[in-house]
Structure 1
Amino acid sequence: MSYVLPGESVPAKHVNLKLGPGLLQVSHVAQETAVVSTKAGELKHSANNKLWWIEGNARRYVPAAQESVIGIVIARSGEGWRVDIGAAHMASLDGLAFEGATKRNRLNLKIGSLLYARVSLAHKDMEPELECFDAQTRKAGEFGELKGGFMARCSLQMCRHLLDPNHFLFPLLGSKFPLETAIGVNGRVWVNSKEPKHVIAIVRCIEAADPDGSNMDALQVKKFLGTLDI
């Protein structure tokens, strides 16, 4: 486990290096490049060292390219939409940023619609831009409008925990009843199930396991789940 402060150099190296939140690649006079941290937190990387990021517990989401987010459509803007992703600035979503979308065949989103999208552009001097398809395959995949269900809010740290396939919460809940989820790294989780009481139980358990909430472990959440009417 390694912690860094803003301005510290980070040993991030890979042929196809990708930097996540909290890291910045800078160039020196000698034409060498280095990676430095822009915020305090725990330095983390993927198993193959391709993706590096700083794990912090910031209160507000700062967009980073390639991250998956859950957004709320707040307005129509020309040929696209303005989307709230919980950042300092609204994001823009072009009407053609969907699989199979053309000028004659576009998705008709309504104000208040929920979207699972990918940040395609994130820059400190520009509004973030979103896309609703996979960058590799150009297929929609899991991205697009989220219909039904419920959007829960939690800490940014909890979202990153839930994205870890080894985290206990969703496998535990999935053993009790069927569920659908979409996890945005911007502090929002969409959940759905056949019965409203199951949706309520999922949200209650997310709140219970959240480090900014009760911070329950697997045994405590399992015991808590037993007290709910499911």
Structure 2
Amino acid sequence: MTVDYYVILSSAPGRRTAAETIVVEEFAHAVDWTTSGLRSAGWAPDAGWRSATSVSRGMRADPRLRARVVPVTRDGADEVHGQLGGGPLPAEPALRSHFRDQQSFPASTPLRLGPAEVPEGFHERRVYRVLFAGDLPVDRLTDLAARWRPTAGHGASDPAPGGRRRVGRDEHSWTLRRVGRDIAWALDLTSLLATTTDHTIGPVLHELTSVVRLRGLVPVTTERFA
């Protein structure tokens, strides 16, 4: 599992571009790569490290708070941590020691989305959906399309960014689109597995989620539909 980093900007008038808090999060996953929980911690110069469960909820449910949230890399969080007087950012094992609470996600049987048939030459077909909160400006959508299309076989007329990749003998294809009456975004991943092993799914899901997150969206959960 990998830690995600966010910077929350100040809400004070005249300081709306200044960072005030760092939030670190880590999703827990079930054996089939769906989300089973979320752990988080936050740091601010005047409070040190503390549980950030309520902040994590707000980042996904409160548009006003989310407008102040900036997804960053670890290097970006380290730079802000130093600027705010905290020195070098602790290593990830130390950060995980501050994850004192976990938001648990209920387990559910995969829903059916699309045909159940498995193409010839494959053992299993799975469909995942990663839900995101937030909004994407047109230029960031264009950036995603340009990043994925060279290896995807998608054409310029495609309505949404998407891609395709073969990892070993497994094939993965994905599309990013608006869902829920335009209140959220979803990354839909279809994985065709050549054998009973699903070890390629986790890295592909993580990579795609990270790419979308760093464009400004906040991941909410990963569900399985087939």
TM-score, normalised with respect to structure 2: 0.23
User: Could you say which structure has the higher helix fraction?
Assistant: 2
Q: Which has the higher contact order (CA 8 A, sep 6+)?
A: 2
